[in-house]
Structure 1
């Protein structure tokens, strides 16, 4: 795609609002350069030899290291020295999270900064489109226990750890194809699985799975398998993950059993890649089956008190099971295992379910709203798409332009719908330029690819705007009403508002000049335009 010859008009920027959004683009560009720098140090310099040997010892070959752009940050301020040469804006450096600020009051403010990551193996964390937006650095030397083993980037304007999953950019194609995703505990587990041919694995950012991450995965997968370490901490983490994910009822959940209390990385090393794939495909169980093993740990099930405590724990888990056949299956297992009457277990379960329903009703009453409150919330929630964008730095029309262009790039039916409109143009020259570039792109490619498209955008400011636009995470697919609202605002409402603004200026001038005849004509013209605007609103 980079070989396509483009008319210069496609890469010229007018005086746009793009400048307002360029800071995020600059931070994204900085992360891309930092990723390349750390990777170069790892694979091409003596400074990176020890880190490279560490990764080889962990089972990662050069192809994997290159594919995931792994790197090494040495003990010096190498990134600071790099950006000083590039003369990158100081505020961009401060906000990037790549540096720690020291109150040194240096003549050059950049000298107040130190590299955040030192003596660490660097794992780039990408957004869903493959752009590096953060790092996780693993200490190469772990003798100093005051130094954290893993250090993650802080949250920045481009990185919200609640919304990011490690390896989603590479895994999403397989996830969408299989409708299945595997949740691992750590980055090295994901890499070990990937090396073994399991390409639909992701990991959360060192914390419990968040509602935002669950929502992102639910849009792409129906089945979610948890594959955490087989040791006690890993099993405790599996329990927590199930407790977080199950209430959403958005997945068919299962747990993958790893042998010998090993983690995925260790399983691949001990048993080989083929055996690991076999385990992932075949050795899984339902959440209830997992809990039956989990609650048996550290209990003597020959002891009556431990038996009662165990049965109580399992019954509490059964309360959350919606399928009556599944409940019946596990009640029978409990009855058979401990030699108790099925009907007694069923009666106790029914009591627990009744208590749960009573608690839910109490919570509903406590959270109940008056009709007036419900209507007020309804008014806040049900607004047109063009009035409900979250980022306040864009004007209403620019929010519509961004949404429409994003939908056009990613959904071919939207692209063709807009292309069929006569005299359609985006208001701001930047989005019109990206639209024209997209025309060139689709002349050569049927499927849209972010990276290929960005190769065509040579202007730095326009590239930053395009990169930030492609990072947007608009939910779901476009609706007809959403697209109609955007088109109406761009083609009808905005031009009409601009005409009214120009008339207002002429009316002010006519008043100053005491030009009564012209003033009356202008007022009548404005009245007609206001009528058109009212009619347009009533039609919408």
Structure 2
């Protein structure tokens, strides 16, 4: 596969590209010792087991087992081909090379369908935007948006558009561009007409907001109605916002609006501002907030949290200030706190405003200042939420409030924060601070006791925990073979000693033997050890690549010696003979039970021979 691109081109990109810099654009990495660690982007986990090594330019997940070089990572994370991964690595690192991505292998049926649907959405985006910006049909919508503070630059930035009131107009444009009716049906842009087979634009007469994926490609739309004039009012209630239905491209649970534009700033600051809707995100972007995303007006989901977890440590929630917004904030705070991955804060929108209203009424500087300096901690928000739901004029409710607040305070890690909140409670309810502290201590003891009961006992627990997968346990023989492969990958002397001590050596483990044979040929070609990232490019089997990466990640500090290789070979030979001896003994017992004396006699001779060989290895 790599031969489709000149080797010198691949090596140029590899040399001028740092795997840590590239992966950092997808995964939040933190340095621990010589390597970088983060949460694996390929599976869900609660502790970081994804490692990237700057020195060796490879990655490996100790939990799910995935591993490889920079091209392997891009192929898996972006679901692209090898040629495309080479081009992507060059683009991300600013390396100027000419690569024709059309020379690669054909796409799968599903990927081809996705590509076609993306093309439909891009065509529709261009059409809607043209209608808004350059036609009489879009004049009213354009005027409304300009009055709302949308500049021409902002409309271009987010490719906002307008769908004509003629519900057949978009279909006609798509037909001119030779998109099939079936493809249009699957796009989610159209709905069927009740009295015919004609496809109608579901977003007709709406302002169109393209919904883009992480690559910036339009995968769905959201349409907003224009405010109706008094003369146009009717009894018919039309939803203010309408989103595309679920398609092979678009899933609400897995989607965050503006992630493609915000993720650079999110990774840079390790913080995200979470809004309820895209109008708030766009308004905040225009005000200078470049790390804002929205959950599309739905409750925050586990899938969206997993996306954020790979990019940021801090989440600032700024939802609407009405009752529904308060409830949505409560759910989001609880969900984020349960994950225990984030520092959570809330920028409250008081007076029933939403962030867009806030910016329109108070201005961008006031919003930026409030976002920086008027945040509530998770605890402060929870306290305010409790007060909003309890009548504190009632003595019973005051006791309920104090109990719940003190129980929440148990989970506040900072001693200074706890002291500050206790003093505030003391002043607000005119209580002796010592009384509150004693009650807090009781709740702390209850909390610790409950946690102890729910935690399985363990001994010698490391401070850095890695979620290990449920997989077949490797034998000591497998580990020893991997040690030998590690030496062969990195030390020319290991090849000299192996050829000297056992020129016809073979690995017992079939995968190890395959890797050995492939690397032997690669070693002969390169005339040198190392070059593991290049070797990984030659492996078509991803499971093989994961094994090579795992072996390479294993640090063996000491220099290789002839005695080490001799000990490894002796152990492997001894283990092999013992395994054979065990099998022969079992076979002889079975032959004896079957009264097959000729076979039993033959097996006995083999057992005697194996015992002699075993004695030789122990000398």
TM-score (norm 1): 0.63
Matches within 5 A, 1:332-343: 332-343=423-434
Distance in 2 between residues matched to 1:420 and 1:27, nearest whole Å: 35
Q: Which residue, out of 179, 197, 222, partners 2:288? A: 197
Structure 1 residues 336 and 152, CA gap change in structure 2 (3 angstroms): same
For the aligned residues, what is the CA RMSD? 3.6
Matches within 5 A, 1:48-197: 48-76=138-166, 77-102=168-193, 111-141=197-227, 143=233, 145-197=236-288
Structure 1 residues 325 and 418, CA gap change in structure 2 (3 angstroms): same
| Maintained 8 Å contact 1:119/1:141 | no
**Who is 2:354 aligned against?**
263
Distance in 1 between residues matched to 2:117 and 2:538, nearest whole Å: 30
**Who is 1:379 aligned against?**
471
Q: Which residue, out of 319, 322, 346, partners 1:228? A: 319
Structure 1 residues 347 and 22, CA gap change in structure 2 (3 angstroms): same
Report Cα offsets for 1:283-328 as digits up to 9, x if no partner.
1121112223332236554442332232133234324434444334
**Who is 2:595 aligned against?**
none
Structure 1, 154-163 or 295-304: larger mean CA deviation:
295-304
Distance in 1 between residues matched to 2:162 and 2:428, nearest whole Å: 54
Distance in 1 between residues matched to 2:547 and 2:178, nearest whole Å: 42
Structure 1, 291-300 or 24-33: larger mean CA deviation:
291-300
Q: Which has the higher contact order (CA 8 A, sep 6+)?
A: 1
Distance in 2 between residues matched to 1:418 and 1:112, nearest whole Å: 57
**Per-residue deviation at 1:145?**
5.0
Q: Which residue, out of 293, 303, 314, partners 1:212? A: 303
Report Cα offsets for 1:186-205 as digits up to 9, x if no partner.
11111111111111111102
Structure 1's unaligned 5+ residue stretches are 366-375, 383-415, 429-478, 488-540
| Maintained 8 Å contact 1:164/1:204 | yes
TM-score (norm 2): 0.56
**Per-residue deviation at 1:146?**
2.8
Structure 1 residues 381 and 56, CA gap change in structure 2 (3 angstroms): farther
Q: Which residue, out of 131, 134, 137, partners 1:44? A: 134
Report Cα offsets for 1:321-377 as digits up to 9, x if no partner.
344443343233223321234454345445555665676677779xxxxxxxxxx98
**Per-residue deviation at 1:72?**
0.8
**Who is 1:251 aligned against?**
342
Report Cα offsets for 1:63-88 as digits up to 9, x if no partner.
10111000111222222111222221
Give the aligned length: 385
Q: Which residue, out of 105, 108, 120, partners 1:30? A: 120
| Maintained 8 Å contact 1:254/1:287 | yes
**Per-residue deviation at 1:147?**
1.7
Report Cα offsets for 1:134-161 as digits up to 9, x if no partner.
1111122554553211111111111121
Distance in 1 between residues matched to 2:246 and 2:548, nearest whole Å: 33
**Who is 2:4 aligned against?**
none
SS in structure 2 of the partner of residue 379 of structure 1: coil
**Per-residue deviation at 1:116?**
1.8
| Maintained 8 Å contact 1:258/1:279 | no
**Who is 1:401 aligned against?**
none
| Maintained 8 Å contact 1:129/1:169 | yes
1:330 and 2:416 are equivalent in the alignment: no
**Per-residue deviation at 1:420?**
4.2
SS in structure 2 of the partner of residue 135 of structure 1: strand
**Per-residue deviation at 1:229?**
2.3
Report Cα offsets for 1:405-452 as digits up to 9, x if no partner.
xxxxxxxxxxx9677459x66879xxxxxxxxxxxxxxxxxxxxxxxx
SS in structure 2 of the partner of residue 133 of structure 1: strand
Distance in 2 between residues matched to 1:5 and 1:337, nearest whole Å: 67
**Per-residue deviation at 1:55?**
1.1
Distance in 1 between residues matched to 2:401 and 2:246, nearest whole Å: 42
Structure 1 residues 188 and 145, CA gap change in structure 2 (3 angstroms): farther
Distance in 1 between residues matched to 2:102 and 2:289, nearest whole Å: 44
Report Cα offsets for 1:199-226 as digits up to 9, x if no partner.
1111102211111111211221111111
SS in structure 1 of the partner of residue 345 of structure 2: strand
Structure 2's unaligned 5+ residue stretches are 1-90, 457-467, 475-529, 553-619
**Per-residue deviation at 1:16?**
3.3
| Maintained 8 Å contact 1:39/1:70 | yes
| Maintained 8 Å contact 1:166/1:202 | yes
**Per-residue deviation at 1:176?**
1.2
Structure 1 residues 15 and 329, CA gap change in structure 2 (3 angstroms): closer
